[in-house]
Chain A
Amino acid sequence: MADDDLERLSFEQAFKELEQVVARLEGGDLTLEESIALFERGQQLAAYCGAKLDEAELRIRRIATPAAGASQDVLS
């Protein structure tokens, strides 16, 4: 599996996939090659989730409402 497809995952998707990977690896009945591949994917997902949690900063935007008028971007 390519690294760039990770970027497209939301935090929720990556986290849930990691849970599935761990469950499969614990389940057994995998060849050694499959186990290694799953393990590497799991490490990737864990690193991705961890980075998202550690580095995120709250973003705030203001949307247009009829009374307010034009929208503008507000940095947090």
Chain B
Amino acid sequence: MAQLSLFATSQPALPYTVSQLTGYIRRLLEEDAELQDVWVEGEVSNFRRYTSGHCYFTLKDAGAELSCVLWRSIANGLDYLPTDGDAVLAHGRVGVYETRGVYQLYVDALRPAGVGDLYRQFELLKARLEAEGLFAPERKRPLPAFPRRIGVVTSPDGAALRDILHVLGRRYPLVEVLLAPTRVQGTEAPAEIRAALAALNARDDVDLIIVARGGGSLEELWAFNDEGVARAIAGSRIPVISGVGHETDFTIADFAADVRAPTPSAAAEMAVPDRMELQAALEKLQRRLVAAMEKRVERQRWALAEQQRALRHLAPAVRIATARQRLDDLLLRAGDRLLHRLALQRERLSGLVARLESLSPLATLERGYAIVRHAESGRIVHRVDDVAPGDPLQVRVQDGTFDARVT
């Protein structure tokens, strides 16, 4: 029989079974709040995905190893699955797999660690949301031309707000600004930004929203690469202009917004019209107004003058004068015609007289012929038988008459 060690602990009244002890350890770990919500950084090794879809791997560093389990349901929802050698950040809860007597990290989130990998995450999320159609041009809402109230989501203490207010005050002070203050970096920022967008969307008096943050590193701008923030911006009923970071910074929020501005100041410029341009347009409208009115009055004056002219034409004095003139004119022409006719008649008369004279018996008398008449009856003697001896006769010659008797 082996000798009992002097240092052996005394036998307890009731020893744990293996299951009981394992159960105890399990409860210990699972009741520790810290271990139920933990981020771990390490290097991935031995990553396997089984046909079931579940993934198993080990996270390790120089001093220790941690078994990890990634259930299929979660693995399918991840943008990123690691390969051996990747440095990762894993989130999950610690549990105990009693059957094998091991503790494990049950992973529910996984992302590449390190700054360079932030860009990869950014690209992955951007690709996924773009494939969903979240950034589609058809989704973009038009901006109002004359916003009355602009909601601004930004830090109340930052330079972004100061710049925006300065630009709005210069360009279009008619607008009212509703500030929805939020943190713009850190882990609480995405939730606050989402809440601010929801609060503004719940109102019915906001025409436009500007989401803004000044310049910073990728980590400082990270809240604007949050998926929830991107969805809240894309889903906003009110149009959103994003003005995050510097000209060269592009965040997921920028793609989700209806318009992306390179900076907060540029966002304010895009949001409102320029007061000076409006004043110039106003002056031009006033000039056109006056010119149009003057033209209208001129038309009226001209119409009046035309009517006066027409009226004068119709006045009695004018009509009489006109009539008189016409009469004179007619008479003149009539007189001319009359003289003309008289002249013609005279000519005809001369002609007839000449013919008459040529036919006249007086011409015959001039040639030596005489006209013999009976002295008593005056009848002309044509034949010898018309006379008897002793009849008294009257003889007419060209220059007079004398008596004669038939012998």
Decide: B289 and A63 in contact? CB cutoff 8 A.
no
Tell me if B252 is interfacial: C-beta within 8 Å of chain A.
no
Q: What is the distance, in angstroms, from A38's C-beta to the closest C-beta of chain B?
A: 8
Q: Does A58 contact B (CB under 8 A)?
A: yes
With contacts A50-B279, A50-B282, A76-B169 taken as known, whether A65 is within 8 angstroms of B192 at the C-beta atoms is: yes
C-beta contact mask, B354-372 vs A, less than 8 Å → 1, else 0?
Answer: 0000000000000000000
CB-CB nearest in chain A for B206: A63
Q: Which residue of B lies closest to A27 (CB)?
A: B292
Give a binary string over B278-294; 1 marks a CB under 8 Å from any A CB, 0 the rest.
11001001101100110
When distances are taken between beta carbons in the complex, the residues of chain B under 8 Å from A56 are 173-174
- Nearest residue (CB) in B for A61 is B178
B176 contacts A59, C-beta separation under 8 Å: yes
Instruction: Give the contact-size bracket for chain A.
Output: 35 or more
Binary interface encoding of chain A residues 1-29 relative to chain B, with 1 for a CB under 8 A from any of its CBs, else 0: 00000000011100100110110011010
Query: If the complex has contacts A12-B146, A59-B176, A65-B181, are A46 and B293 also in contact, measured as CB distance less than 8 A?
Result: no
- In the assembled complex, the Cα of A61 lies from the Cα of B148 at a distance in Å of 13
- Complex interface residues of chain B between 265 and 301 (CB less than 8 A to chain A): 275, 278-279, 282, 285-286, 288-289, 292-293, 296-297, 299-300
A46 (CB) vs chain B CBs: closest residue:
B286
Which residues between 164 and 197 of chain B lie within 8 Å of chain A, taking CB atoms? 165, 168-169, 173-183, 188, 192, 195-196
**Does A30 contact B296, Cβ atoms closer than 8 Å?**
yes
B169 lies within 8 A of A58 (CB): yes
- From A24, which residue of chain B is reached at the shortest CB distance? B292
Q: With A11-B146, A46-B282 as given contacts, are A52 and B174 in contact (CB-CB < 8 Å)?
A: yes
Which B-chain residue is minimally distant from A62 (CB atoms)? B179
Tell me which of A46, A54, A59, A65 has the highest count of chain B C-beta atoms within 10 A of its own C-beta. A65
For residue A41, give the distance in angstroms from its CB to the closest CB of chain B.
Answer: 10
Shortest beta-carbon distance, A63 to chain B, in Å? 5
Q: Give the most central of B175, B177, B289: most A CB within 10 Å.
A: B289
Q: Check B200–A63 contact: CB distance below 8 A.
A: yes
Q: Is A74 positioned at the interface, with any CB of B under 8 Å from its CB?
A: yes
CA distance A54 to B275 in the complex (A): 9
If A26-B288, A61-B176, A64-B199 touch, whether A49 touches B282 (CB-CB below 8 Å) is yes
A-B contact pairs, 14 of them (CB 8 A): A15-B146, A18-B282, A19-B285, A22-B289, A28-B299, A36-B293, A42-B289, A58-B177, A60-B165, A61-B176, A65-B180, A65-B181, A76-B165, A76-B169
